[in-house]
Amino acid sequence: MLPRILIVDDDEGLARIIGEYLSACGFDSEPAASAAQARNCLMRSKYAAVLSDFQMPGESGLDLLSHVKSRYPGLPFVMMTGARSSRLKHEAMMMGSSGYIEKPFRLEDLVKAVAAVLAPADQETAKLAS
């Protein structure tokens, strides 16, 4: 079964491009256009990781991160943002974000960021299987 990534971004075109690229790299994905829609997705499906934009209408990516960490504490979360702010990066990491990537990014770098947050879970699964 392919690792399933929840992509949360109000830019539906970008979410589609990310999803297509992740698919070509061996991932499954589902888009959500808002934090509220992402919460609904999380209630009905399991995901290997959440990849979320920071700035969205309504609730921000930090709001979603807080929700994910309170309800799904082991779920890796990668924050994407166009805001070049060391304060935001620090805040996201302190709240439990597993990764952080600034826009614009190369899709290859995004896949590396997703793979990096999944690697600890893969290593733990391998330890349990042995």
Over 60: is that where the pLDDT of 126 sits? Answer: no
| Token couple for 25 | 């790299």
- 62: nearest Cα among 76, 70, 52: 52
Q: Which CA distances in Å does 29 have to 69, 90, 102, 126?
A: 20, 27, 20, 23
Domain boundaries, the chain: 4-129
pLDDT score recorded for residue 76: 97
Q: Which of 8-17, 85-94, 101-110 has the lowest mean pLDDT?
A: 85-94
Over 50: is that where the pLDDT of 128 sits? Answer: no
Q: Domain 4-129 carries which CATH code?
A: 3.40.50.2300
pLDDT digits (tens, 9 = 90+) for 59-99: 999 999 999 999 999 999 999 998 778 899 999 999 999 99
pLDDT score recorded for residue 121: 55
| Token couple for 41 | 């997705």
Instruction: Give the pTM.
Output: 0.90
